[in-house]
Chain A
Amino acid sequence: MEVKGEDEGSNYLIDLDSLVELFGILSQRYRVWAPKVKDGVIRYMPTSSFGELALGYRNIELPGYYELKKEEGYFTYTHPVNSLKELLHPPELPLMRVVKQSSELLFDYTMPNGERLCLFDVRACDLWALEVLDRVFIKNNPKPDPYYKSLRDNLFTVGVNCSYATSTCFCTTMGTGPEVRGGYDLLLTELKEGFLLQVGSEEGREVIGPLKKRRAEERHLQEKENIIKRTEGMMQKDFHRQEARERLYGRMDETYWEPVGKRCLACTNCTQVCPTCFCFDMVEKNGLSESYRVRAWDSCFSPSFATLHRFNLRQSIHSRYRQWLMHKFAYWVDQFGTYGCVGCGRCITWCPVGIDVRQEVRRIVQA
């Protein structure tokens, strides 16, 4: 992943007041999306003041289970339930409006609005997901997507290092976290004495210009390292990803997949909450004389996804699960030079019947 540039002169320590001030500066410059508590979960939402943030909450996540508790501190949770996919690859995005005038068609291709947007509090897994989506839509795509790009170019990110991991987190297994290693404009780590603020881009440097801050010292950086080590320790190494990938190619036989096919509802939840699942459908939304072509989230678990001449090639649920898991942990590397999974664990938490993809990879690879 591309590191936007981090040097010794980029590390500061700020106190809570300065953090509040930083949020204020961001709110003036950008439309800010940040984690808030809604419906009993932490969710990225438009946020106008620091007081609305989900600070001091802790998300307890298990396969098919989520709850919130209170906790001492500020950035005491992990990532929100939704991800930046929602912003950059919205669930429904009109690509064009087509108007019929007698026998001619008029096309209006309006790009999504180019408002400057700040995503505040992005964790390592999700910053990786951003890189993954960048590759899918722009970097590794011979025909880069202008809709995605117009949203992406306006994005400013404030990363946060995790000081906690839930039972469904597995960023260490996928090699994406818990340490934020790049892709951010600003980076925060909550320390005993305050917040370590690190700069990742020129724009980030500009933003914090007027902020009251002091140079971070060696012990602050050391504390950050310790925090990351501690967070790492909260997760197990579930499997060796390269080895798993190599072995998965030899595990295409249905006998490996039938057990999970029996448990899976093909409900599509895992793919929808996934920060990198990009598959979409093109939906025609028709009026009397105009038609919108809309890009809408789709899923390889949908019963019409692989339809050829009205027949879905993937009839069985296990074949759809195989497609999904093989894509995430194997094919994706061939396609985009990175895994499709960032280890955020959302698919595990939000599976209504609690299927744990880590266990499935292990079971299939070890069989």
Chain B
Amino acid sequence: MFKLENPYALRRGRVAKVIKETENIYTFYIETEEQARPGQYNMLYAFGMGEAPITIASMEGEYLVHTVRAVGDVTRHIDELKEGEILYYRGPYGNTWDIERAHKGELLIISGGLGLAATRWVFEQAKTHHIKRLIHIYGSKDYHSLLYRYLYEHWHSYSEFYITLERPDPRWNGRVGLVTDLLREIELKEDTVVFTCGPDPMVKACVSLLENKGIKVYNIYASLERHMKCSLGTCGHCMIGPYFVCKDGPIFRYDLIREYFERKEV
């Protein structure tokens, strides 16, 4: 008999900085000693509400960056946290983007909505990787919902970074249309590696378009979102086919999950 570490135990992290992204989305910088990798997530806890899996948007020094949209009880309460207050969480969980696959090649990142939080860190890391061409397409529903506006200039400096809004806005003179419309226009090499995170229908549509462009399905990686209660592969809620999104994912090589992901009600 030996004592096991309790995987449900929560840690405390002081909120060092809060950035308001949109009306209901906030970014938190949390003091941490943990080591994480791009694509992983933490379970964030709110007293009396429960937990929610939230992607690690980045690590800046000893700060963990989480971007949280208030959609349920847990996230609504986390979004009320102020500087100096404590966030209780556990993690990191899940796998990481396989950036080595794009070594010396082309990497395309496609992000939809809050999916940008899941690709942001690997996109930042791509800067220092040996990648020949780095493209990032970010689709947002409208002008209000744009995230990380303060980073765009920097992102433009090292990549082809495109933004498209679904709805036009008088303050926006950039592109309007769907992610797929933009994707259609971009010339891509057949061995381009693709990382994507966004709403399920967007991911499906992009994959089918990418295939038409000759891109191999096994070079496409998608980060999925599913209901999670434990993050440890035991509660069963996040299963998609034989996979537990919480521990086998959240990032999957698309050819492995396609059968389950594209099918209704799996």
Do A and B truly interact?
yes
Question: Contact size class for A?
Answer: 35 or more
CB distance from B180 to the nearest CB of A (A): 22
Q: Answer whether A143 and B232 are a contact pair too, CB < 8 Å, given A314-B265, A316-B265, A331-B241.
A: yes
Q: Answer whether A315 and B265 are a contact pair too, CB < 8 Å, given A100-B47, A103-B86, A308-B225.
A: yes
The secondary structure that dominates the B interface is loop
Instruction: Flag if B234 contacts A145 (CB, 8 Å).
Output: yes
Stretch at the interface among A166-174, A225-233, A275-283: A275-283
Q: Quick check: is B19 within 8 A (CB to CB) of the other chain?
A: no
Q: Quick check: is B257 within 8 A (CB to CB) of the other chain?
A: no
B residues 222-245 touching A (CB-CB < 8 Å): 225-227, 229-230, 232-237, 239, 241-242, 244
Can you list, as one digit per residue, whether each of A326-357 has a CB less than 8 Å from chain B (1) or not (0)? Answer: 11001100110000000000000000000000
Give B260's nearest chain A residue, CB to CB.
Answer: A252
Q: Quick check: is A21 within 8 A (CB to CB) of the other chain?
A: no
A residues 187-221 touching B (CB-CB < 8 Å): none
Can you list, as one digit per residue, whether each of B66-80 has a CB less than 8 Å from chain A (1) or not (0)? Answer: 000001100000000
Q: Answer whether A107 and B235 are a contact pair too, CB < 8 Å, given A291-B48, A308-B225, A335-B242.
A: no
Stretch at the interface among A2-10, A116-124, A134-142, A262-270: A134-142
Complex Cα distance, B46 from A203, in Å, reads 45
Can you list, as one digit per residue, whether each of A287-310 has a CB less than 8 Å from chain B (1) or not (0)? Answer: 000010100001010000111111
Instruction: Flag if B234 contacts A141 (CB, 8 Å).
Output: yes
A residues 145-166 touching B (CB-CB < 8 Å): 145-146, 149, 153
Q: Which of chain A's residues have a CB closer than 8 A to the CB of B235?
A: 279-282, 298
Complex Cα distance, B225 from A308, in Å, reads 8
Complex Cα distance, B224 from A313, in Å, reads 14
Residues of chain B at the chain A interface (Cβ within 8 Å): 1, 3-10, 47-51, 71-72, 85-86, 88, 225-227, 229-230, 232-237, 239, 241-242, 244, 247, 259-260, 263-266
19 CB < 8 A contacts A-B = A105-B10, A105-B86, A109-B9, A146-B3, A153-B1, A278-B234, A279-B235, A280-B234, A282-B230, A291-B47, A291-B48, A293-B8, A307-B227, A308-B227, A309-B71, A310-B72, A323-B266, A326-B241, A331-B239
Known contacts A306-B237, A335-B233; 16 further A-B pairs (Cβ under 8 A): A103-B86, A105-B47, A136-B234, A149-B4, A254-B264, A281-B229, A284-B49, A293-B50, A298-B235, A305-B227, A306-B226, A310-B72, A314-B265, A326-B241, A331-B239, A331-B241
